[in-house]
Amino acid sequence: MTQITSDYISGLGLSSYGDKAAETEDDSLGQDEFLTLMIAQIKNQDPTNPVQNEDFVAQLAQFSTVSGIEGLNSSFEDLAQTLSQNQTLQAASLVGNRVLVPAQTAELSEGQGLTGAVNLSSSAGSAALNIYGPGGALVRTQALGSLSAGLQEFSWDGLLDDGSPAPAGAYTIEVTAQTDGATEALDTMIDAEVQSVTTDNDGGGLLLSLLGIGTVSFSDVYRIG
């Protein structure tokens, strides 16, 4: 994230307080100029790595030191609204793309399959993919073999153990692994298409509507694409 330093201000053709202490007040960085810089920074931020609260506060504190201008409280709400609107517009470009999110259950369309991943902290000697049908019965077991530490992807072709296509419905995915002689269930993530992006009126964050999964928070997205 770009810090608003004296060099950065000078590069934009503006004057910092330290550089122009002897000049008139009109030549110093005013509130309007600072807000223009801040809004430009917000509009050009990465939606997957938005402005953090501590960075935002630090820059406001820095501005107070450099310019000596107080009374920005009335502008906080406008800046926050700009940030929220800009994030929503940028996140809207995710519609139609696929994201990887923590999930165990997804809706299967007839003739389709499901893909996902697990993130292992250490290697596993043996792993298996278990698929449970809408009624909770185990309908497919698929050996995954040994897995190395890190992100490991898996896929289910949508077939049952007898080779017939699984009917449409909600299926639960479970990945188990043998580690240190014990079998444990791993936290799974499922790959899904983004259908829409909305703003959470309660928390102000972004909500993604995912095909086959439902609504998840944008902050829960592990990977895009």
Whether residues 39 and 111 share a domain: the answer is no
Whether residues 28 and 41 share a domain: the answer is yes
Burial 188-198 (b: 16+ CB within 10 A, else e): bbbbbebbebe
Q: What is the pTM of this model?
A: 0.63
Q: What phi and psi, each to the nearest 5 degrees, are found at residue 40?
A: -60, -40
Whether residues 31 and 111 share a domain: the answer is no
Whether residues 207 and 197 share a domain: the answer is yes
Q: Name the pLDDT band for 169 (thresholds 50, 70, 90).
A: very high
**pLDDT of 50 over the 90 cut:** no
For residue range 6-36, list pLDDT tens digits in order. Answer: 554 454 444 444 444 444 445 555 667 777 8
For residue range 113-136, list pLDDT tens digits in order. Answer: 999 999 998 888 899 999 999 999
Q: What is the mean pLDDT of residues 55-62?
A: 70
Range of the domain at 217: 193-224
Structurally, the chain folds into a number of domains equal to 3
Q: What is the mean pLDDT of residues 46-72?
A: 64
Look at phi and psi of residue 125 and say left if phi exceeds 0, alpha if psi is from -120 to 50, else beta: alpha
**pLDDT of 53 over the 90 cut:** no
pLDDT at 39 (0 to 100): 77
- Contact 69/31 with Cβ under 8 angstroms? yes
Last residue of a domain, one of 77, 93, 109: 93
Q: Is residue 1 part of a domain?
A: no
Whether residues 75 and 154 share a domain: the answer is no
